[in-house]
């Protein structure tokens, strides 16, 4: 019995059990964009956090850029899900 029939997967080299050569899968572009948005949002300042120096004057004109802790938790959770989707191998 061939190892690919035992485990149900394709053998190394990308050839499926039917003998058809499949190209390697590319990461989903939408998932990559979502990951970049989540990472960028986690770098934004948190609401109620004391800022000092140039950072406070930079964001003072844009108060809508301050995120709450709950919003950052959601972005971190989504980033984890998206990371699993990107790193998953089939």
Structure token pair of residue 48: 């109620």
Task: Quote the CA–CA distance of 33 and 3 in Å, as a whole number.
Answer: 37
Contacts for 23 with CB less than 8 Å, ≥ 6 apart: 14
Burial 49-74 (b: 16+ CB within 10 A, else e): eeeeeeeeeeeeeeeeeebeeeebee
Question: What are 24-62's pLDDT values in tens digits?
Answer: 777 788 999 999 999 999 999 998 877 666 666 777 888
pLDDT exceeds cutoff 70 at 5: no
**What is the torsion angle, in degrees rounded to the nearest 10, for the CA atoms of residue 51, residue 55, residue 56 and residue 59?**
-120
Looking at residue 73, its pLDDT comes to 98
Q: Which residue has the tokens 């003072």?
A: 60
Q: Taking the model in full, what pTM does it have? A: 0.66
């Amino acid at each position: 019995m061939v190892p690919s029939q035992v485990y149900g997967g394709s053998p190394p080299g990308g050839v499926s059990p039917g003998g058809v050569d499949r190209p390697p899968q590319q990461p989903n572009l939408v998932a990559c964009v979502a990951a970049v948005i989540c990472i960028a949002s986690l770098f934004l300042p948190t609401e109620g956090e004391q800022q000092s120096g140039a950072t406070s004057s930079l964001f003072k004109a844009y108060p809508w850029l301050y995120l709450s802790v709950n919003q950052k938790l959601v972005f971190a959770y989504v980033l984890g899900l998206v990371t699993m989707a990107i790193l998953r191998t089939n």
